[in-house]
Chains A and B, each alone.
Chain A
Amino acid sequence: MAHEVVNDGLETFEAIFDRYQQPIYNYILRMMGNPEDAYDLTQDAFLKAYINLPKLGGDRNVAGWLYRIATNTCLDELRRRKVIRWQPWETFMSAFHPRQVADDSPEGETIRHEDVALVQKVLDRLPPRYRMCLVLREYEDLSCEEIGEILGVSRQAVKSLLFRAREEFRKIWQGIETERLAPGGGVR
């Protein structure tokens, strides 16, 4: 009902929110690993966006601007906690009704639920900046240049971060696979 408040800025903001709430929420969910944090931090990120809306020039890339705000919101929170919380994927999945999980990705149909759980587990173990780069590149399909704008680093730095993120992912993944295939091993 807040949209009934007569305010041009609020109307513009509503349009931006409606367009980007899903990608930003999912990005933050990937970053934080649990729906409670995603819910809170998506609110915080959009409120910051609303406050800074007057500074957004007409030619600015709104998506990049929002991802940057979301990224900084997540980093601030992780710094504040000084700890990276690891949430099992099952906890996250159980918080949602199955209908709330879109099934429109053909690749999603071929990946097993167990693998999805492992992917999130590995992402959770990556340093936040590695995780951000990987999610922005592979999940959000952004270019190195766009990621650089969001993270406030050079394109070359993004290339380096992506390489290290992939190598770290590879290492953790191999460790988990080895553990899983070992006698008596399994997904915890």
Chain B
Amino acid sequence: MKCDPMLASAYRDGELSSTERNAFEIHLGECIRCRSALADYARIGRMVAAIPVVTPPVDLRRAVLNRAAARTRNRQPWYVPLLTGVTAAVVLVVGVSTATQYLNRSGPTMMMESARSAAPAPAIGVGGGAGGGVQPPVAPGSPSPSPTLDTRQGFAAATPTAAPACPPAVGNIATVRSDLLSRLGCANSPALQVEVAEAVYQRGSLFRRADTGWTVMIVNGRWSVLSERLAADASASPFQRAFVEQPVLPTLLGDAVDPVKQYPAVIQSFANGIAIATESGWIVFLDGGVFERQG
């Protein structure tokens, strides 16, 4: 048999026919060059296979899914925004017409009383107080997340600052802060009322959304997802499991400086990040890892 190291390569890959394989095995017994090549190829294979498997970065999942969701929005047919605009115009015209008729029939006092009783207070006040700050959510601790703003209220309130190109969303918590909205982009989820927990340490903090277990770590103004679904034991700190799963956390974060705080908040996902409205201000997780807190 002719000496050909390419046969050694094919032999290693199981690409020789049974006849070729038998002939090559006989040849191997008498050809040091082919034996050496085969041994080296096997060694190369072992070395390449032994490169450690690396866990992808924790925020890769969110980054990919956000881009996919943004792509879905951008692929909507050309007539959808047009229809949305037309629908809004029709609603506006009908609403104004109805209100005018109602006003003419009942008088201004009666209309104001009716509006107060029909509409629950929005979770997020828009211009409702000094500076238009965040108001306490309507029903803190509700068992399942629910949109906090009625669509009509959200859009009526959003009109002055919302980006006009954005498709409809149920509520829009960033409308009170146009500077936030310009950086966050369009909402891609409803505004949800949730319970959150926060723990502050010497060198950073942990933040967890109670209903899903989504947990992030914030260090040096950067955030990263620790877990998409971190479980919590009701009798222990909501972050206890994180410390069990990630023993490096004490080194990264240092000692706790405050007790764990648990409070209601409103959370919404946007094209470029996540915004969370709390009673004390805004928490913003921008894509790319930038974390901001604004009072």
Q: Which A residues are closer than 8 A to B by beta carbons?
A: 1-5, 7, 9-10, 13-14, 17-18, 21-22, 25-26, 29-30, 35, 39, 42-43, 46-47, 50-51, 96-97, 99-105, 107-108, 110-111, 115-116, 119-120, 123, 134-135, 137-139, 141, 143-144, 155, 159-160, 162-163, 166-167, 169-170, 173
A-B contacts, 29 listed (Cβ < 8 Å) = A1-B62, A1-B274, A2-B269, A7-B69, A10-B72, A13-B68, A14-B65, A17-B64, A22-B53, A43-B67, A47-B64, A47-B71, A101-B53, A101-B55, A102-B54, A105-B49, A105-B52, A105-B53, A107-B46, A107-B49, A108-B50, A116-B52, A119-B51, A134-B44, A137-B13, A159-B6, A159-B13, A166-B9, A170-B44
Is there an interface contact between A108 and B44, defined as CB atoms closer than 8 Å? no
B26 at the interface (CB under 8 A from A): no
Q: Inside 8 A of A160's CB, which chain B residues have their CB? A: 6
A52 and B104 alpha carbons, distance in the complex (Å): 57
How many residues of chain B get a CB closer than 8 Å to chain A's CBs? 46
Chain B binding site: helix, strand, loop or mixed by DSSP? Answer: helix
B90 at the A interface (CB under 8 A): no
Looking at A104, A134, A139, A166, which has the most chain B CB atoms within 10 Å of its CB? A166
A25→B50 contact, CB < 8 A: no
Listed in ascending order, the chain B residues whose CB lies under 8 Å from chain A are 5-6, 9-10, 13-15, 37, 40-41, 44-57, 60-69, 71-72, 188-190, 214, 246-248, 267, 269, 274
CA gap between A119 and B46 in the complex, in Å = 10
Nearest A residue to B192 via CB reads: A4
B41 cross-chain contacts in A, Cβ below 8 A: 166, 170
B189 in contact with A103 (CB, 8 Å): no
B267: chain A residues at CB < 8 Å are 1
